[in-house]
Amino acid sequence: MKKVYITFFLLIILFTLIFTVHTETIAAMDETAGNIFEAVNQETILTVLSFIGLLGSTKGIIISLVLSIIIFAFLYKSFWQPLTIFIAVFLANVSNKFLKGIIERERPVIPGHEVDGFSFPSGHAMIGIVLYGFIAYFIANKIQSKTGRNIVFIIALIILLLIGVSRLTEGEHYFTDIIGGFAAGGILLIILKSCYDFIVNKKTGKYN
């Protein structure tokens, strides 16, 4: 039931942004948030955020995906976890492109800096939350300590938040692009995790 409430909440956020993303209210919100993050101009902070941001880039996603598939294949000695994480990232990527194609929101305009593709929702945020959400979930399932599992999820959350912040400080996205990406990715993560749990439970008689 908790998953239903969370999914419903994320759906409200996502659809609210989809139908209002081109309005002046959202533009004003993004401008305010942009001004706040522009204040983050210390070189050390920007370097760290840029490095973290690479985890959500195409190259970072591919590397993390390949490594996680190999690791979980050995860790679980099963094809379900590698297959699940591959399908999850594939669906997140396809869904992100689909949403961007429908909404067609232009990216922030930065002189001398051009990025291809539309802006909403953020692919880094949407695909990142699906990939690193599943990575954290599969790692946590192998940890007996509740404290240890919580630490894994907290680390994953921090990484995801920093990925989102990095996109803002680099001027690649608007604030609402990031929120929309996390909302859309969160919905997909909950749905796919529920499917995984159902299949594994049915096949093995227990949840991994």
Among candidate residues 133, 195, 192, the one with its CA nearest the CA of residue 160: 133
Q: How far apart are the first and last CA of the chain?
A: 20
pLDDT value at position 97?
92
User: Does 111 sit behind a cis peptide bond, omega within 30 degrees of 0 on the bond before it?
Assistant: no
Rounded to whole angstroms, how far apart are CA atoms 39 and 42? 9
Among candidate residues 93, 72, 85, 61, the one with its CA nearest the CA of residue 142: 72
208 token code pair: 């991994």
Q: What is the pLDDT of residues 26-81, one digit of tens each?
A: 888 888 877 766 665 555 555 555 666 666 677 888 888 899 899 888 888 888 88
pLDDT average, residue stretch 180-190: 93
Rounded to whole angstroms, how far apart are CA atoms 24 and 83? 43
Under a CB-based contact definition with an 8 Å cutoff, are residues 127 and 61 in contact? Answer: yes
Provide φ and ψ at 110, rounded to 5°: -125, 120
Rounded to whole angstroms, how far apart are CA atoms 203 and 108? 47
| Confidence check: pLDDT of 161 > 70 | yes
Q: Which of 114-123, 144-153, 165-174 has the highest mean pLDDT?
A: 144-153
The one-letter amino acid at 93 = N
Q: Which of 116-125, 136-145, 163-172 has the highest mean pLDDT?
A: 136-145
Residue whose structure tokens are 């929702």: 121
Angle between the N-to-C axes of helices 175-204 and 80-103, in degrees from 0 to 180, rounded to the nearest 10? 150
* Dihedral-angle region of residue 77 (phi above 0 means left; psi in -120 to 50 means alpha; beta otherwise): left
Q: What is the pLDDT of residues 97-109, one digit of tens each?
A: 999 999 888 887 7
